[in-house]
Structure 1
Amino acid sequence: MCMAARLLAHEVADLCLGKPPLKSLPISATVRHALNVLKSADDDTHISIWTCDHHQTAQPLANNCLCVGKICMVDIICFLCKEDNIRSPSSALDSPVSVLLSGDPDIVRHVNPSDSLIEVIDLIIGGAQNLIVPINRKTIINSKRKQNLQRGKSIAPTTHFAGGEFCWLTQEDVIRFLLSSIALFSPTVAYSVESLGIISSDIFTVNYHSPASTALGLILGSLVEQTSVAVIDDEGILIGEISPFTLAYCDETAAAAIATLSAGDLMAFIDGGGPPEDLCRVVEARLKERNLKGMLEEFSAYSSGIPLMSSTSSSSSEDESSPSPARTKSGRYNRSSSYSARITKRAQAIVCYPESSLVAVMIQAITHRVSYVWVIEKDCSVVGIVKFSDVLEVFRSHLERMTN
């Protein structure tokens, strides 16, 4: 019980250590602005949207300055896939960025640095995807000092955060934090995901041969649920997946691929190695058949190696000690340049079996930088999915038993 009490004594600020400030845009920005920021980002795949330009105020959490949502390249791709927008993508990009927001106020929540770990877990179980945490140097120094004093170490002041900056926490951050104290949750974490009852059968699937456009709503749904769309054959066998995580590293012209290719071909198109030339030719031919001149012009520029649009936002400085990631033709980073990209190459789904232990599934998801794992039978037929939010419910129940 004493060890559990120490774990529960941690605050939100403790989970923010080492996290960089989050890129942001005001609600007055356009989709084009968001696209430029995403394409100029080092490895950030999301942008927070605020009711004001927080760069112009010293207090981001003032009454008139709140984070109202987050967006990523997937939002832009799916927006451009809409019938009117795919006919005139240039005009669509001039739409206000607010058209990309989900409208669900619970997806992004503001929290205080002093809020408890249990409060964080409860918010995520309740549907929050990101927790916005106001951070200042004093908060970080005090939090880090508290941790280092427990280890008998001294620290130097950190310069990670200045006054008025903020970071956000995800489900992955909380799972990683709990994984560092996994011994406290024995023997629960050794139980199978089936015995714990956390395999959800409520999943998104699309047939391998179906038009990728039929999965558009599923892609948006999986983005909200932080899961993925399983690509299956006629027998229900898992072939691969269309993952928002993968799409987030793609160019906006993936919208043309969704509009013209099958689900199976789309998997190959969004592969970290870049779209095959034969599929690019197929996309161009089908855009011509449908007389989608606007998207055809954009896509033809991309396939010819010409950047689709120049970025007006300066990218963050990179760590000089780290290798420079390879870039795609459009300026986005090639997913195969990172470890997490190599192990998820070719849209291969991350899978486990019903008898897999909870801790094994957690490690799989964390290693592959996803917040879910598909559950399959030995014949590769899909059983369901295990999500981080369901895993956190198991930990929440375990903590309650430990403290009672």
Structure 2
Amino acid sequence: MAVTLLSNEVLDLCLGKPALRSLSVTHTVADALCVLKKLGDSCVSVWSCHHSSESGDSTIRNVGGGGAAADCRCIAKVCIVDIICYLCRPENLLAPAQALQSPLSVLIPKTSGLVRHLEPNARLLDAIDLMLEGAQNLVIPIPESKSRKKKLLEKKSSLDSTFHKNGIRYCWLTQEDVIRYLINFICLFSATHSEPINSLGIIDTKNVLVVNYDDPASSALNLITESLIHQSSVAIVNPDGQLIGEISPFHLNAGDETTAAAIATLSAGDLMAYVDCGGPPEDLVQLVKERLEEQNLVGALELMEEESGLSLSSWPSFTSTSSDEDGLSSSVKNGKHGGYSARVVRRSEATVCYPWSSLVAVMIQALAHRVSYAWVVEEDGTLTGIVTLSGMLKVFREQFKVMG
């Protein structure tokens, strides 16, 4: 059984995964925001190419890659948090509508290797090694028969940006996917899964991103960007170093572009409440508006107002020729439901464990909360470190060496 696991192909982990939505690097930030809000995806893939249709229409449906061509590759992923951090720049808070017309290239991090291509017949070990080198997402082609490909192409709507011009579709493979797969075979890894995490050397005490409860949320902006790169989070602590909560990219990603105004005006503690379950409290929304007025951030204030005319449907850079838009519900079309994001929203309570927690317990916690980390605290709540999925993968990689 262990030998079989070692030789499994990455395609085994991709079964049932949805195809990637694709945008060209030449599209705008507004285009990406529109796709994320209309379709409810957590992120959208960005490609180095742009294919136009025969009619000359350059809508999102025609963006994609050309298979293995060297000049047509997925080079990044973009999520709501990337857009929020971009809008938080002082010059963009003054003119957010103009900032949203910038090309997607402004959102691509300088850190390379976060997205890597991998063939579907590659080994599971190959995928793990790439992730341990820093890859967050592996781009895997979805094998399909010619007949199925033809049927899918015939049925695809004008908003379907999952197909590339040659008919190839791709999917993501993430660290979460690998950990979720490995946990099904946890019994193969001797007693490692039951050992406490402090005995495995995976508690990171150096790269812990922390901000105090009363600090301005804007002081955490660089930390939020860093947490995106490292797939972690920003801890909020009290003066005694006890963990109170977090500013998590996962929670921020459930919001929308107006969160940039909240980061610019609120404290870290208030921001934690602003992005909490169900959307921001009305008193905090009003506080943000008042402070935007005080700072004369008219553009950001307009971003907060529904009647400002900055709705995505009015932006000229995004066009749609589909009447049914993939059968999206009206709430998702508007990007909101009941005034808030239509994406899944969770409370900003942090996922925590203890130094003596077992590896498998921490794995289950992270998977259950759909996060890539867990904060490590002492009994009194003092923050001591963080455990990431990457650290867990290192443990399994060492076990693979022993097994084969």
TM range (shorter): 0.7 to 0.9
The answer to whether 1:177 aligns with 2:174 is no
Residues 22 and 63 of structure 2 are in contact (CA less than 8 Å); yes or no, is this contact kept in structure 1? no
Residue from 184, 189, 192 that aligns with 1:188: 192
Q: Secondary structure at the match of 2:223?
A: helix
> What is residue 59 of structure 1 aligned with on the other side?
66
Residue from 127, 132, 137 that aligns with 1:125: 132
> What is residue 308 of structure 1 aligned with on the other side?
311
Distance 1:391 1:294 in 2: 44
Aligned letter for 2:15? Answer: L
How far did 1:137 drift?
Answer: 1.2
How far did 1:52 drift?
Answer: 1.1
Distance 1:324 1:36 in 2: 9
How far did 1:180 drift?
Answer: 1.0
> What is residue 37 of structure 2 aligned with on the other side?
39
Distance 2:340 2:23 in 1: 20
Is the deviation greater in 50-59 or in 169-178? Answer: 50-59
Residue from 20, 23, 26 that aligns with 1:25: 23
Over 3 Å counting, the alpha-carbon distance change for 1:56 and 1:238 in structure 2 is: closer
> What is residue 291 of structure 2 aligned with on the other side?
286
Residues 30 and 312 of structure 2 are in contact (CA less than 8 Å); yes or no, is this contact kept in structure 1? no
Distance 1:4 1:390 in 2: 21
Over 3 Å counting, the alpha-carbon distance change for 1:324 and 1:183 in structure 2 is: farther
What does 1:204-353 align with in structure 2 at a 5 Å threshold? 204-301=209-306, 308-310=311-313, 312=319, 316-317=326-327, 327-328=336-337, 332-333=341-342, 335-336=344-345, 341=346, 345=347, 347-353=348-354
> What is residue 379 of structure 1 aligned with on the other side?
380
Aligned letter for 1:51? Answer: S
Q: Secondary structure at the match of 1:20?
A: coil
Residues 47 and 64 of structure 2 are in contact (CA less than 8 Å); yes or no, is this contact kept in structure 1? no
The answer to whether 1:199 aligns with 2:200 is no
State the number of aligned residues. Answer: 368
> What is residue 76 of structure 2 aligned with on the other side?
69
How far did 1:300 drift?
Answer: 2.5
Q: Flag as ranges the 4+ runs of structure 1 deviating above 4 A.
A: 160-163, 311-319, 323-326
> What is residue 111 of structure 2 aligned with on the other side?
104
How far did 1:223 drift?
Answer: 0.6
Residues 274 and 334 of structure 1 are in contact (CA less than 8 Å); yes or no, is this contact kept in structure 2? no
> What is residue 391 of structure 2 aligned with on the other side?
390
Residues 22 and 167 of structure 1 are in contact (CA less than 8 Å); yes or no, is this contact kept in structure 2? yes
Distance 1:325 1:291 in 2: 28
Distance 2:369 2:281 in 1: 24
Tell me, which stretches of 5 or more residues in structure 2 are unaligned? Answer: 52-61, 149-161
Tell me, which stretches of 5 or more residues in structure 1 are unaligned? Answer: 142-159
> What is residue 359 of structure 2 aligned with on the other side?
358
Is the deviation greater in 57-66 or in 118-127? Answer: 57-66
How far did 1:64 drift?
Answer: 2.0
Q: Secondary structure at the match of 1:384?
A: strand
Over 3 Å counting, the alpha-carbon distance change for 1:317 and 1:188 in structure 2 is: farther
Distance 2:327 2:10 in 1: 27
For each residue in 1:121-178, what CA deviation from the matched residue of structure 2 results, as whole angstroms up to 9, or x when unmatched?
0000110000001122149x9xxxxxxxxxxxxxxxxxx9994111111100000110
How far did 1:307 drift?
Answer: 7.6
Distance 1:258 1:85 in 2: 13
Residues 113 and 133 of structure 1 are in contact (CA less than 8 Å); yes or no, is this contact kept in structure 2? yes
> What is residue 11 of structure 1 aligned with on the other side?
9
For each residue in 1:203-255, what CA deviation from the matched residue of structure 2 results, as whole angstroms up to 9, or x when unmatched?
10000000000000000000110000000011101000000011111010000
Distance 1:28 1:330 in 2: 31
Is the deviation greater in 88-97 or in 103-112? Answer: 103-112
Distance 2:65 2:366 in 1: 37
Task: Percent identity, please.
Answer: 50
Q: Secondary structure at the match of 2:210?
A: strand
Residues 49 and 65 of structure 2 are in contact (CA less than 8 Å); yes or no, is this contact kept in structure 1? no
Residues 95 and 300 of structure 2 are in contact (CA less than 8 Å); yes or no, is this contact kept in structure 1? yes
